Chains A and B, each alone.
Chain A
Amino acid sequence: FFFFFFFSMRLLSANTIVCIVKGCTDNFPLQIVPTVVEQEETECNPEFITHIMHRVDYPALKRMSEDIGIHGLPDELPADLENNEQLIQLLHTALLDTHVQQGELACNKCGRKYPIAQGIPNMLLTENEV
């Protein structure tokens, strides 16, 4: 197989992942150690961004964004996010237009590393990790 990789793990899904190795708890967020990151501009849907920001862990998003070189997110989200077009666009860029192609997700609690190859994180555990 030969593939062109246009889409791969975005920061929105990275913001939802926890380590599931047996006995490892309270490990969110995993750390992204990126080696290849790409930006792909897509149309912003403000309705989706304001909806999903209720779920996103904002401090984790801000830290992950900075880890991969996206700056400018404020320290705290304004209460009236829906009226802040510019910030919504910035959040869209961070959450949905930023793709980690290669690298790994690292658990800071147990040290487990989940490799990301060709845009797809490998979350498969070995038998003794289950």
Chain B
Amino acid sequence: EIYYNDTEAKKYAGNSRIIEIQTAMSERAIELLNLPNHPCYILDIGCGSGLSGEVLSDQGHTWVGVDISASMLGVAVSREVEGDLFNHDMGQGLFFRAGTFDAAISISAVQWLCNQDQAHHNVQRRLRKFFQSLYKCLVRGGKAVIQFYPENGQQMEMISSAAMISGFSGGFVVDYPNSTKAKKYFLCLCAGSAEMNYTVPAAKGLDEK
């Protein structure tokens, strides 16, 4: 299924409000990755028109983006983003060999895995495929920060438990939890053993309404 056709993709990619929000969330997600102090190789899942990728490029990183929408990738190409782009459905499992990436980000994409008109077990199978393949393609100790808009607590639980079953440790960082508008969910994950003692970073805006 393609979620953005050419017309929708153009509209979406040209909306300055969306661009601003997506860029800010990308910057926050990259901050939460807490990357080592050298240029990294990073995967962007659901890269869309390449907004997060541009933030990564600006910070000196090299990235690869995957997206299910060929139209969105077309927009990314027309914007001359610097990452390599692949047309792919993350629910089929990522196609990278083990230990490829230093880190991964995903902005407003993973909820698609739950939103489809598919049987419950199929959604769970796709989530599992996605997280298992993500775990595998990260270096040991590599981080993944996944921002998405959960529909409800059950969906949060379903997504995070698929991640934990796949070997990740971590949990949610909720920025501006008291604000209906600014509230953002980031699932912060570490592809490492429990001995690595990964603790999720602190949330922002805890006192703000």
Contact = CB atoms under 8 A, between A and B. Distances in A.
5 contacts: A8-B84, A9-B84, A10-B84, A13-B84, A48-B41
Interface string B38-69: 11110000000000000000001010101010
Contact of A125 (B83, B92, B99): B92
A96 B77 contact: no
B100 interface: yes
B86 A123 contact: yes
Nearest to B70: A120
Interface stretch (A16-24, A67-75, A79-87): A16-24
Interface of B: 6, 38-41, 60, 62, 64, 66, 68, 70, 73-74, 77-78, 80-89, 92-97, 99-100, 133, 137, 139
Contacts, number: 95
Interface of A: 1, 3-10, 12-13, 16-20, 28, 45, 47-48, 51-52, 55, 57, 96, 118-125, 130
Nearest to B95: A20
Contacts of B6: 1
B124 to A, nearest CB: 14
Contact of B77 (A3, A10, A45, A52): A3
Contacts of B64: 13, 16
B84 A1 contact: no
A37 B107 CA distance: 31
B39 A45 contact: yes
- 6 residue pairs, one from A and one from B, having the closest CB atoms: A48-B39, A123-B88, A13-B84, A16-B100, A20-B95, A122-B87
Given A13-B64, A51-B39, 5 more contacts: A18-B96, A20-B94, A47-B38, A119-B77, A121-B87
A52 B64 CA distance: 14
Contacts of B38: 47-48, 51
Given A7-B77, A47-B38, A120-B70, A28 B97 contact: yes
A16 B86 contact: no
